[in-house]
Chain A
Amino acid sequence: MTRRLYIPRETTASSLGAEALVTAIAAEAATRKIKIEIVRNGSRGACFMEPLVEVDSNDGRLGYSQISIDDVASLFDADFINGGKHPKSVGLVDELTWFKNQERLTFARCGLISATSVSEYEQLGGFVGLKKAIAMQSADIIQEVLTSGLRGRGGAGFPTGIKWQTVAGAEAEQKYIVCNADEGDSGTYSDRLIMEGDPLSLVEGMTIAGLAVGATMGYIYLRSEYPLTRIILQEAIDNAKTAGYLGNDVCGSGKAFDLEIRMGAGAYICGEETSLLESLEGKRGQIRFKPPLPALKGLFGKPTVVNNVISLATIPVIMEKGGKHYAGFGRGRSLGTMPFQIGGNIKFGGLVEKAFGLTLRQLIEDFGGGTYSGKPVRAIQVGGPLGAYFPAELLDTPLDYEDFAKAGGMLGHGGVVVFDETVNLAKMARFSMEFCAVESCGKCTPCRIGSVRGMETIDKIVAAKDEKDREAQISVLTDLCETMESASLCAMGGLTPVPVMSAVKHFRGDFQ
């Protein structure tokens, strides 16, 4: 009988040798005359386990973690196809505490199915939400999203339902759904994981958004650093089209919705929604003044929903299980779950989807197992390159939008980058300014010039000849940061002061 085994087709697994592994396992099976079927699933998000090879058993899927081609012969010797014990066995994958302690809604299917298969997607609840939405009025779909409390997962945290309401209410012959898949923040990779592991959830989410606001065309603006993602996503779109979930007559509803992937070209600023729209129009990715809001005048001047990948990929489960169910997770005004991503100097890095409210410590110590180097945690940057640096004393801060903001940080896209005691925060602060200088779109002066002056000032602080001189330069930096914060046109210049000033505040000793 043919045995099924699972090896992810996904960037992390691939970066650690999964493609060579697939070839080696297939060859070894052929030599030993064992019939196997290799399913190319997405990653389950436990990046530290990749490549994670799984086999079916009566009790569930058994895992073998961090497998390389050197392990192939011994795996077959151990009869891993039938669940045989091997030094790299991790047992039943679903039973591992790393997975068991998560609350997966958006990522419920990710890693379980062959990523682009419509039938496997349907078997695990896929397209139930879309079918429900087709039978509903536009206003009722939007109400469901409002009830869920879903806020934009890209970083700004704006209520998704309100954005949709604005677009739905705008009169126009053409409207657009734009998915922001320009995941440029360091430490974030949840967009990539879902697009590689469960891309049909994004396709379904965008289609529902189209039905809700009356848009017939959707664009996914994907960063060019994700070439494998593009291939997988395109396959998923093609399969959805063939199955009748996209096209002129979505599921026999008589309504049209189509999708196209557009590639970015290595500009971080294009993750800002108005830059992204400029870039989609084939222009320099310079930001636009707001108002008008993209919801009223967006792509090609038409009303446009611009949502992040995770926001859109969460819509199917909200429609399937109801907004109330989703809002049952989380707390306060941070409802539902957040896919946090732990990276940097971390032992067990990967994607942890949990209801809002767990603490940084739980994430880094309980899930992440502390640093990769084994040295103490010294600093944590949450929310990408524009997020604050926290010292270890703030590890007990709860992860929700409001509490995190109170502590001087922002959740952003949920990326958590851990540094051990070897980090120098003056260097990191300088890097924040340097990054802003490299990636600034150049439209406004505080960002374009301020970032360069910021670098110079940090150099002066570090080189100061005495404490008085240092204090004087720090007050220049503080002034400069205030100007950038209040006078920049968008978050790039406006938030670069956040990591810089948090480094000054919490790690003053590094600036000498």
Chain B
Amino acid sequence: MQSVTPRKFADFSLAAASEAVEEFRAQPGALINALHKLQDTFGYVDEAAMTMLGKLFNLSRAEVHGVTSFYHDFRRTPPGRYTIKVCQAEACQAMGSEALTDSIKEALGCDFHETSKDGLFTLEPVYCLGNCACSPNIMVDEQVFARVSSDTFKKLSASLASNAAEVK
């Protein structure tokens, strides 16, 4: 099984956020790039960054908020150590993703858009990972896992938890 090392996010500060997105200043239409950059750096898009982004792109705070909230990818609160996305689309449904989803929710003790109590796993739905010949699929951070069963998920989550314990 592929191992995944937990990502490390910086603590949010407005100064660090401004510095992270400065490279997009002159780029036409790069607000979404900037939001991605903030999320990659801090794990989420902090409310405090909205006004700063508005100034950078000559937009109102409301416009920045509108864009941020439109896209499923952008989080407004810090995620767990890992983000687990479980495919809900048709091809995975044809291979039992509904039962798999239930067992994952039960194993992690949380629903979609929530984080497990130990702070390790944030659970999200996703509609298609483009691996439809080997369903059902899940994605842990940026790594896809194919033909996942509730048993393989238990092994995977145990190995992810032990990786996270090693990497503080």
Contact = CB atoms under 8 A, between A and B. Distances in A.
Interface of A: 11-12, 14-17, 19-20, 47-48, 50, 183-189, 191-192, 224-228, 262-268, 279-286, 300, 341-346, 349-350, 372, 381, 385, 415, 417-420, 423, 428, 431, 435, 438-439, 441
Contacts of B29: 280-283, 300
Contacts of A228: 142
B134 A50 contact: yes
B25 interface: no
Contacts of A281: 28-29
Contacts of A385: 89-90, 127
B108 interface: no
A225 B130 contact: yes
Nearest to B127: A268
B143 interface: yes
A299 to B, nearest CB: 8
Question: 5 closest Cβ contacts across the A-B interface?
Answer: A349-B133, A343-B132, A186-B89, A344-B94, A265-B71
B72 interface: yes
B135 A343 contact: yes
B12 to A, nearest CB: 19
A183 B143 CA distance: 18
Contacts of B167: none
Contacts of B91: 186-187, 343-344, 415, 417
Interface in B63-91: 66-67, 70-74, 89-91
A225 B126 contact: yes
Contact of A186 (B35, B66, B71, B127): B127
A313 B70 CA distance: 31
27 contacts: A11-B129, A15-B145, A16-B146, A47-B131, A47-B134, A48-B133, A50-B134, A183-B130, A184-B128, A225-B126, A265-B32, A265-B35, A265-B72, A279-B32, A280-B29, A281-B29, A282-B32, A282-B57, A283-B67, A300-B28, A344-B94, A345-B95, A385-B90, A415-B132, A417-B91, A435-B127, A441-B70
Given A186-B89, A265-B71, A284-B67, A15 B146 contact: yes
A485 B98 CA distance: 29
A16 B152 CA distance: 12
A372 to B, nearest CB: 7
Contact of A285 (B31, B70, B144, B145): B70
A269 B66 CA distance: 16
A345 B95 CA distance: 6
A187 B36 contact: no
Contacts of B135: 343-344
Nearest to A351: B133
Given A12-B131, A281-B29, A420 B94 contact: yes
B32 to A, nearest CB: 5
A281 B32 CA distance: 9
A15 B129 CA distance: 11
B139 interface: yes
B137 interface: yes
Contact of A372 (B74, B95, B126, B127): B95
A494 to B, nearest CB: 19
Contacts of B129: 11, 225
A341 B133 contact: yes
A441 to B, nearest CB: 8
B140 to A, nearest CB: 11
A282 B31 contact: yes
Given A15-B144, A20-B3, A283-B29, 5 more contacts: A17-B1, A189-B132, A227-B142, A282-B28, A285-B71
Contacts of B33: 262-263, 282
A281 B31 CA distance: 8
B70 to A, nearest CB: 4
Nearest to A46: B133
Contacts of A349: 132-134
A285 to B, nearest CB: 6
Interface in B117-167: 126-135, 137, 139, 142-147
Most A CB contacts (10 A, CB to CB) among B3, B73, B74, B95 go to B95
A187 B131 contact: no
Contacts of A265: 32, 35-36, 71-74
B133 A12 contact: yes
B2 A266 contact: no
Contact of B67 (A225, A282, A300): A282
B30 A342 contact: no
Contacts of A372: 95
B116 interface: no
Given A189-B131, A284-B66, A349-B132, A431 B137 contact: no
B90 A16 contact: no
Nearest to A346: B133
A343 B132 CA distance: 5
B93 interface: yes
B95 to A, nearest CB: 6
Contacts of A431: 90, 93
A344 B97 CA distance: 11
A184 B127 CA distance: 7
A417 B90 contact: yes
Contacts of B3: 20
Contacts of A225: 126, 128-130, 139
B127 A342 contact: no
A208 B89 CA distance: 35
A303 B91 CA distance: 37
Contacts of B126: 225, 266
Nearest to B34: A282
B114 to A, nearest CB: 17
A184 B91 CA distance: 12
Nearest to B63: A283
A283 B57 CA distance: 11
Interface string B28-49: 1111110110000000000000
A11 B2 contact: no
